[in-house]
Structure 1
Amino acid sequence: MSIQIDAHTVKELRNKTGAGMMDCKKALQASNGNMDIAIENLRKKGLASADKKASRIATEGIIESYIHAGSRIGVLVEINCETDFVARRSEFQKLAKDIAMQIAACQNVMYVSSNDIPQEIISKETRIEEGKEDLVDKPKSIKDKIVLDRVKKRLMEISLMNQQFIRNHNMSIEDLIKQHIALLGENIKIRRFERFLLGEGLEKKSNDFSKEVESIVNK
């Protein structure tokens, strides 16, 4: 006989995982009301469901924007799904807003995933790590392993999908996307993004006060 789960607990689990109400209720009943076990089981189920949908074509979606307070940082991001119906869902649109805000907050992020990073960037990072002084006297096998680990860490730092979600540090952006794939029942992909920094690339005028005073005195 399954235990009775109150609506408040079901809603709490839904808010934490994004899963459907009935899935939350069943997960809580299966875990005898243990919230942590229910969350773990739902995430496993969501990841399995998301992985099955990952190869499906996603050509609908939206382009979302975010302008940070002070209007000095702006972001445009394209997020794709399979149908216009899901693109109009509030959950999908909130996801797009959260992703745009995430990109604005993560200034080091340059690529959607580590799979998008060009080989020349990987080679450059590898050369940088191989040339570091703390590895000079290391045996080659140990040095190669350290370099591999450091490069892997660096690639994760510049990949959006590997970032901790700013609204919930217990999940990555990849987890967030998979959660919404399970919630909305369609494949979801972050296709591309562009970050705009006010004045980026422009030569900024520097006011050298001592030179300015000297020029006035010498007139």
Structure 2
Amino acid sequence: MSISAQDVKELRDATGVGMMDCKKALEEADGDFDEAIELLRKKGQKVAAKRADREAEKGLVVTAISDDDSTGAIVEVNCETDFVARNDDFASFADRVATLVLNEQPADLDALHALDYNGERTVQEELVRMTGRIGEKLDIRRFDVLEATNDGSVVSYIHPGSKLGVLVSVTGDDEQAQLDVAMQIAALNPVAVSRDEVPESVQEKEKEIAREAAVSEGKPEHVIDNIVNGKLNRYFQDNVLLEQDFVKDASTSVQEMLDDADVSVHQFVRYALGN
């Protein structure tokens, strides 16, 4: 039967699939619109399965913040190429997923995949549909939700390119200091806010490394403990947020910068694409 250009356009508008694929689906379905949609869905599922073993290491890190700044969500959504990562539809999907995470706060990825996406399909079904349309493996790799502490707020920072993102729970009203500390976290990747939060196992490992190095260098036994403690303090200065040198002014620490601005940091989440 003859398939009109209007029929093809309507199917494309409904599914987002390319014009030629829509025309082929309508021809195969003898013009039945619903059957054509089902055929395209099946094609998407086949494409998703076919590409399941492919590596999806590109993509976007995106955030969403509640209207009252009390809660933030961060999500990593992956694809196979930077070309797709720059695609507006892919970016819109990532933003929509971040908003869903913010609003619904699913318990895990399975719960996220089962959420309603647009009233017609779930997040998982939308992933399959987009995989069929775009032709690349797509994946939601991880997400986190961060809530404000002590009547504070959650601040978001996305580095240009959307491959690195940060959420920070803060109290205090100095917006520049809030942004500065978020950028500090993005740039220097601290392991904790304060040294008290560094796991004991990590501290013991650093001390073991320092001790073995001192012994191998032939340092006298009576100075080794001092060397080990000094190395551990250096580790804290390099890796604990409040003790790091402030990236904008290495003559001051992050703690001193925050004290001057009357801002406190309570928690943070940092996502780097692929890490």
TM-score, length basis structure 2 = 0.51
Cα distance per residue 1:74-102 (max 9 Å; x no partner): 21101111111111111111110111111
Percent identity reads 37
For 1:201 and 1:60, locate their aligned partners in 2 and report how far apart those are by CA, in whole Å.
Answer: 36
Measured at CA, do residues 200 and 193 of structure 1 come closer, stay the same or move farther in structure 2, by a change above 3 Å? farther
Query: Which one of the candidate residues 122, 136, 141 is aligned to 1:172?
Result: 122
The match for 2:69 is: 71
Structure with bigger gyration radius: 2
Unaligned runs of 5+ in 2: 153-275
The match for 2:103 is: 105
The match for 2:131 is: 181
Amino acid at match of 1:88: R
Normalized per residue, which structure has more strand? 2
- Note the 1:42-121 alignment, pairs <5 A: 42-107=40-105, 109-113=106-110
For 2:107 and 2:94, locate their aligned partners in 1 and report how far apart those are by CA, in whole Å.
Answer: 17
Measured at CA, do residues 189 and 200 of structure 1 come closer, stay the same or move farther in structure 2, by a change above 3 Å? farther
Amino acid at match of 1:192: R
Measured at CA, do residues 5 and 72 of structure 1 come closer, stay the same or move farther in structure 2, by a change above 3 Å? farther
> Do the aligned residues in 2 keep the contact of 1:61 with 1:78 (CA within 8 Å)?
yes
Amino acid at match of 1:171: R
Amino acid at match of 1:161: H
Query: After TM superposition, where is structure 1 displaced by more than 6 Å over at least 4 residues in a row?
Result: none
Cα drift, residue 170 of structure 1: 2.6
Query: Which one of the candidate residues 12, 24, 34 is aligned to 1:36?
Result: 34
For 1:101 and 1:25, locate their aligned partners in 2 and report how far apart those are by CA, in whole Å.
Answer: 34
Cα distance per residue 1:142-187 (max 9 Å; x no partner): xxxxxxxxxxxxxxxxx1112221x2x2311111111111111111
RMSD of the alignment, in Å? 2.0
> Do the aligned residues in 2 keep the contact of 1:5 with 1:28 (CA within 8 Å)?
no
> Whose relative contact order is higher, 1 or 2, with alpha carbons under 8 Å and at least 6 apart?
1
Amino acid at match of 2:101: I
> Do the aligned residues in 2 keep the contact of 1:17 with 1:43 (CA within 8 Å)?
no
Q: Does 1:25 align with 2:29?
A: no
Aligned residues: 152
